[in-house]
Amino acid sequence: MKQIKTAIIGASGYTGMELIRTLLTHPNVDLVAVTSRAEAGKRLDEVFPRFAKAKAAAIEFCQPDPDYIASTGAEVAFLALPHGVAAEIARAMLERNIKVIDLSADFRLHSPAVYEEFYGHAHPAPDLLENAIYGLPEVRAAEIAAAKLIASPGCYPTSIILPLLPLLREGLIDADTIVANSMSGVSGAGRKADLSLLFCECNESARAYGVPKHRHLSEIEQELSIAAEKDVTISFIPHLIPVNSGIVTTTTAKLTAGATPEKIGNALESAYSDAAFVRLLGRGKSADTKQVTRTNFIDIGFETDPRTNRVILMSAEDNLGKGAGGQAIQSFNIMHGLDQQTGLNNW
C-alpha cells in the first residue's frame, strides 16, 4: 500500500490535534514530522496522552525548520498555523518540492487588497496566490488533484457556501438578500489562553461576535460571487455557543420568480447526490450538530417560507472536521489519487 510521508506544521492546536487523530489511522500516511515551537522536544504522547500506543506515539515535536522537515522525506505538509505566519512556511515547503495544504486564511482569497482589508496587513506572499486552489472538494476536485498549494476553506464558509452554491447557479435565489446566522463551538476560536474563552465565560452562555464584518465574509463572498457571476454581499452573524465543537448555520434568501421547493431539492440533489461527505436531509429537516461531530460530514436540510418568500437552508458540520482537518484530509486524498473517504469514515 502506498505510504505518503506527511508533516503537520503547527500540530499542537485543536486543528493540529484533529489532523493527528485522523492521520494516525490513515492507511496511506506515514507521519514523519509534527512541529510546535512551544512543545519542541516532547513526544507526541507526552503532549497528547490520548495518542499513547499509537503507531507514531514516540515521534517528537520539532521546530518548524524547513530543511529539517525536508530531510524527513515529507512529500506533503499540512499547515495549521495562524494567518500571516503560514505563508512564509508555505513558500519554504514549495521551494523544497513539498506540496502544501494550508488551513489558514493566507491563500483563500484571490485579491491581496481584499486580504489586507479583512486581515489588517499586507498579504505576505501575493505572488503565490495565482497558483493556490480554494479547496472545496465538492466543487474543485479536478483542480485539487493537480494542485501543489491548496487553501483549505474556513469552517463557517464551508457551512454557508455549500448549501448556497447550487441555488445561486440555478438562479433560484436573489443573491442580494442572503443572510447567514451561524453558531460555533468554542474550539473554533483556537487553543489559546483568552479570558473570553474561559469555561465560566462560555458555559451557559451564547453571544454574537465579529459583527458586522467577520473575516470569513471575504472568502464567502468571493465564492458566492463566482457562482452568481456577479458581486455578492451578504449579512453574516456568527455566534459562540457552549459546546466543544460543531457548527450549525441557518441561511435565508428571497426566492426568485418560479423557484419552488421541488426545484430547490433538485438543485441540491444534482450538485451533491454523489458527494461522499454531503448528506442531504431533504425538505423540512433540520441539521443537528450531534449527528456530525467527530465526522467529516456536512448535513443540509431546507424549507421554504411562503409568507416571506424565502428559502431557509440549515446545515451542520464539525468545525474541526469538515470545517478544518477533515476537509483538508479529503483534499489530501484527492491530491494523491485516493478515494476521498480514505481514513475519514468515522461515524
Output the domain CATH number for residue 90.
Answer: 3.40.50.720
What does the pLDDT look like over 284-326, one tens digit per residue? 999 999 999 999 999 999 999 999 999 999 999 999 999 999 9
Is the pLDDT at 200 greater than 90, yes or no?
no
Does residue 344 sit within a domain?
no
Burial of 10 (0-12, 13-18, 19+ CB in 10 A): buried
Question: Within this chain, do residues 124 and 168 fall inside the same structural domain, yes or no?
Answer: no
Question: Within this chain, do residues 204 and 298 fall inside the same structural domain, yes or no?
Answer: yes
Question: Within this chain, do residues 176 and 278 fall inside the same structural domain, yes or no?
Answer: yes
Three-state DSSP at 160 gives helix
Q: Which among 102, 134, 166 is the end of a domain? A: 134
Select the more confidently predicted residue: 190 or 258.
258
Question: Within this chain, do residues 118 and 204 fall inside the same structural domain, yes or no?
Answer: no
Over range 6-28, report the average pLDDT.
Answer: 95
Question: Within this chain, do residues 37 and 93 fall inside the same structural domain, yes or no?
Answer: yes
Q: Which CATH number characterizes residue 304's domain?
A: 3.30.360.10
Question: Within this chain, do residues 176 and 310 fall inside the same structural domain, yes or no?
Answer: yes
What confidence score (pLDDT) does residue 317 get?
A: 98
How many domains in the chain? 2
**Percent of the residues in the chain that have a pLDDT greater than 90, as a whole number:** 91
Q: Which among 103, 134, 165 is the end of a domain? A: 134
Question: Within this chain, do residues 304 and 180 fall inside the same structural domain, yes or no?
Answer: yes
Does residue 141 sit within a domain?
no
The neighbour count for residue 37, using CB atoms within 10 Å, is 11
Does residue 281 sit within a domain?
yes
What confidence score (pLDDT) does residue 297 get?
A: 98
Give me the residue label for grid cell 505563508. Answer: 87
Question: Which residues share a beta bridge with 181?
Answer: 237, 250
Over range 331-336, report the average pLDDT.
Answer: 98
Is the pLDDT at 193 greater than 90, yes or no?
no
Does residue 145 sit within a domain?
no
Domain that holds residue 279: 155-318
Distance of CA 195 to the CA centre of its chain: 25
Q: Which among 76, 102, 134 is the end of a domain? A: 134
Three-state DSSP at 243 gives coil
Does residue 225 sit within a domain?
yes
User: Active-site residue numbers?
Assistant: 155
User: What value does the mean pLDDT of the chain take?
Assistant: 96
E-strand ranges in 70-136 read 76-79, 99-102, 132-134
What confidence score (pLDDT) does residue 192 get?
A: 76
Over range 201-217, report the average pLDDT.
Answer: 93
Does residue 340 sit within a domain?
no
Question: Within this chain, do residues 114 and 175 fall inside the same structural domain, yes or no?
Answer: no
Q: Amino acid letter at 67?
A: D
Question: Within this chain, do residues 125 and 196 fall inside the same structural domain, yes or no?
Answer: no
What confidence score (pLDDT) does residue 347 get?
A: 62
In 48-128, which ranges are continuous DSSP H helix? 66-71, 86-95, 112-119
* CA-based end-to-end distance of the chain: 24
Does residue 323 sit within a domain?
no
Does residue 298 sit within a domain?
yes
Three-state DSSP at 90 gives helix
Round to whole Å and give the CA distance between 188 and 15: 9
Over range 32-57, report the average pLDDT.
Answer: 94
What does the pLDDT look like over 68-105, one tens digit per residue? 999 999 999 999 999 999 999 999 999 999 999 999 99
Question: Within this chain, do residues 166 and 298 fall inside the same structural domain, yes or no?
Answer: yes
What confidence score (pLDDT) does residue 41 get?
A: 94
Give me the residue label for grid cell 464539525. Answer: 318
The neighbour count for residue 121, using CB atoms within 10 Å, is 9
**Percent of the residues in the chain that have a pLDDT greater than 70, as a whole number:** 100
Question: Within this chain, do residues 297 and 183 fall inside the same structural domain, yes or no?
Answer: yes
Question: Within this chain, do residues 297 and 186 fall inside the same structural domain, yes or no?
Answer: yes
Question: Which residues share a beta bridge with 31?
Answer: 6
Over range 177-204, report the average pLDDT.
Answer: 87
What confidence score (pLDDT) does residue 310 get?
A: 98
What confidence score (pLDDT) does residue 201 get?
A: 84
